[in-house]
Structure 1
Amino acid sequence: MTRPTDTPGAAPELQRALARAARLDGANQPVTPAEPVTETDNATLYRYGHGDRPPLLIIYSLVNRPAILDLSSQRSVVRRLVDGGLCVYLLAWHPPGAARRYLRLADYILGDIAEAVAWIGNAHDQSPHLLGVCQGGVLALCHAALQPCRSLTTLATPVDTGTDGDQLAALARAIDFDALVQATGNPSGQGMAAVFASLKPFALGPQRYGGLTALADADAAAVEAFMRMERWMYDGPDLAGQAFAEFARAIYQDNALVEGGLMLDGQPVRLDRIGCPVFNALAEDDHLVPPAAAAALERHVTGRCTTTTLPGGHLGLFISAEAHRRLYPALLDWLQTL
């Protein structure tokens, strides 16, 4: 059997890079110390930093694991926020398993998120700031539309999926999600990773791995960062089938955040009911959430909305040097004004 370190025909630099990657055993370890503080039905709530500081709750996507937010000591979003004076909480979703294929969006939003917000409010005697990431931004928007919030930050969040060039929306319109879930149960994380990679095949394939040889003589931190990214990209959890179908229909087929029609246990989700301050960040070359889809948020909320645009793609909002130089200092300054 061919081992990663014995790849036939590989250049010496590539073989050395693969050998170094194969020896790496710390790429799954967290960078920032965290403490689990409570459990909701479908998640664990983790705390980072000091409990006497203003709280901020990160609501992450159901599609990937939140390791991208704590990828390395130099590019950790969590550490940046903690160092900026916040007590950071993260709602880490549990993989649903076959028995929970019928979980609904309402279970996550009206259940887990509402419970986490209430727990943090009781622990700190003040409501947390909310930060929603990608799909988690949609979940956070839904919560903020139904419950008063202290503030809301959204990163790379799809709002108006009827805009031109939205590849995910175009793909979703051709799929019967109810039939898909009925046939397959919970969609697999590997399947979702393949879908995302297919939307930008060159950048996530030959171009990305063509640069692997540069790691042959790179420092250990660079090799570890590369491997952390690889494991994050292709180690997504399975998704609860019913919630996945509801989300795909509402957000990508019906454009329900801006067109209306999204209901959670009989409660209408209306963005114009979001009156808290909003900070919305997007990327100029995002192939998953086009800039127009994310920038639309400021036209639909009634609270003061600050929109920040950064160069680069979807992941650049989390791991790029530019984001850590410009975006997160700006966000921390904004939060201090509230």
Structure 2
Amino acid sequence: MASSSMPFPDDLQRVLSRAARIGRRSEDITPSEPVADTDNGTLHRYGDPSNPPLLIVYSLVNRPAILDLSPERSVVARLIAGGFCVYLLAWHPPGAARRYLGLADYILGDIADAVDWVTDRHERCPHLLGICQGGVLALCHAALAPDRIRSLVTLATPIDTASNDDRLAQLARSIDFDALVAATGNVTGQGLATVFASLKPFALGPQRYGDLAALARADDAALEAFMRMERWMYDGPDLAGRAFAEFAREIYQNNALMHDTLVLDGQSVRLAAIDTPVFNAWAEHDHLVPPAAAQPLSACIDSDCECHGVPGGHLGLFIGGRAHKQLYPTLINWLRSH
């Protein structure tokens, strides 16, 4: 009897051939224009510049393509449709000469400069939206300069890394990061992608490539979205060695946000100093930022904090159907009210 799995190689071959014909198309789904440069990034503008400004601070670890993956699942496009002029601070890969960039360079330098630029152009403070590691960077900026932003949004942002189900934190506790970067310099994006994949090997391995074979009968748009996701997952930029070591040590080993022990260029970061409205959301089955890591933010700040847990995993918070149908309309209404 022939095995039901026999068509898989043929399906895989067909979808790979189609993928080669499609090629590597532009990463831009939503039109944008570069409007300013910071020391370590470029500020891109999306949408109508007459609308209220919203500045996105993304993680240093991946590229921000996940926020604009397809016309149907674009966080950027949804925010534009919600009536905002969206800015994205896209980080430059550091290069070997910038291995000594630290968290203070990004937070006190680039983010502060981007916020000031947007404020000057719009004559009003922007809403600040931080994502994943970028949420930590945005929190630090909000704590040190709360009067420079209109509101703060954090998505999948680790606050308390002491929980037993935080697998990334558990992995980090046994590593000497200073010794690691002293030996390697910058940390490669490919190496980090391998680490992240190891935390959920089946879903990011055999199951995912079974899904690839299933695309043999899908249209080109679905296949292109899959390819864009693959590039996002495995084509991440390198990280400046010092900033990587500082983040891993302070956030994951010392749990510095919870203990008020993070110091940037002599300035203490205390979450209680945040006095702007906050919107905090997480994914209920996130293997990178579990709910226990994200939820405590409301208890750390004195301002109003609206909290939302969304069913699904880490990526579902950005490209999941439920997030786009429920979370982002809620977020947009919240932003409009502030």
TM-score where L is the length of structure 1: 0.96
User: How far apart are residue 26 of structure 1 and its match?
Assistant: 4.4
Deviations 1:284-328 (A, max 9, x none): 100000101001111101110000111100000100111110011
User: How far apart are residue 213 of structure 1 and its match?
Assistant: 1.5
- Greater Cα shift, 11-20 or 36-45: 11-20
Residue in 1 that maps onto 2:316:
316
Q: Contact 1:58–1:132 at 8 Å: present in 2 too? A: yes
Q: Contact 2:188–2:237 at 8 Å: present in 1 too? A: yes
Equivalent-residue separation in structure 2 for 1:181 and 1:322 (angstroms): 39
Deviations 1:207-257 (A, max 9, x none): 111111111010111101100000110000000000110000000000000
Residue in 1 that maps onto 2:45:
47
**SS of equivalent residue, structure 1 residue 57:** strand
Residue in 2 that maps onto 1:4:
none
Residue in 2 that maps onto 1:104:
102
User: How far apart are residue 29 of structure 1 and its match?
Assistant: 2.6
Equivalent-residue separation in structure 1 for 2:321 and 2:16 (angstroms): 25
- RMSD over aligned Cα atoms: 1.2
Equivalent-residue separation in structure 2 for 1:138 and 1:120 (angstroms): 20
Alignment gaps of 5+ in structure 2: 1-6
User: How far apart are residue 27 of structure 1 and its match?
Assistant: 4.0
Equivalent-residue separation in structure 1 for 2:8 and 2:336 (angstroms): 52
Residue in 1 that maps onto 2:332:
332
- Greater Cα shift, 104-113 or 18-27: 18-27
Deviations 1:123-181 (A, max 9, x none): 00000000000000000000000002210000000000011210111000100000000
Equivalent-residue separation in structure 1 for 2:47 and 2:114 (angstroms): 17
Q: Contact 1:186–1:239 at 8 Å: present in 2 too? A: yes
Equivalent-residue separation in structure 2 for 1:215 and 1:27 (angstroms): 18
Deviations 1:26-78 (A, max 9, x none): 44431000110000000000000011000000000000000100100110100
Residue in 2 that maps onto 1:158:
158
**SS of equivalent residue, structure 1 residue 138:** helix
**SS of equivalent residue, structure 1 residue 333:** helix
User: How far apart are residue 91 of structure 1 and its match?
Assistant: 0.2
* 2:284 maps to amino acid: E
Residue in 2 that maps onto 1:22:
20
Residue in 1 that maps onto 2:86:
88
**SS of equivalent residue, structure 2 residue 168:** helix
1:60 aligns with 2:58: yes
Equivalences, count:
331
Equivalent-residue separation in structure 2 for 1:29 and 1:166 (angstroms): 32
Dislocated runs of 4+, deviation >3 Å:
none
After superposition, where does 1:113-152 map in structure 2 within 5 Å?
113-148=111-146, 149-152=149-152
User: How far apart are residue 280 of structure 1 and its match?
Assistant: 0.4
Q: Contact 2:274–2:301 at 8 Å: present in 1 too? A: yes
Residue in 2 that maps onto 1:194:
194
Q: Contact 1:27–1:227 at 8 Å: present in 2 too? A: no
Equivalent-residue separation in structure 1 for 2:213 and 2:169 (angstroms): 35
Q: Contact 1:28–1:228 at 8 Å: present in 2 too? A: no
State the percentage of identical aligned residues: 69
**SS of equivalent residue, structure 1 residue 74:** helix
Residue in 2 that maps onto 1:220:
220
Residue in 2 that maps onto 1:300:
300
Q: Contact 2:27–2:65 at 8 Å: present in 1 too? A: no
* 2:306 maps to amino acid: T
Equivalent-residue separation in structure 1 for 2:153 and 2:235 (angstroms): 26
1:73 aligns with 2:68: no
User: How far apart are residue 261 of structure 1 and its match?
Assistant: 1.1
TM-score where L is the length of structure 2: 0.96
1:283 aligns with 2:283: yes
Alignment gaps of 5+ in structure 1: 1-8
Residue in 2 that maps onto 1:182:
182
User: How far apart are residue 10 of structure 1 and its match?
Assistant: 5.7
**SS of equivalent residue, structure 1 residue 62:** coil
Equivalent-residue separation in structure 2 for 1:27 and 1:159 (angstroms): 37
After superposition, where does 1:184-263 map in structure 2 within 5 Å?
184-263=184-263
Equivalent-residue separation in structure 2 for 1:174 and 1:291 (angstroms): 22
User: How far apart are residue 17 of structure 1 and its match?
Assistant: 1.1
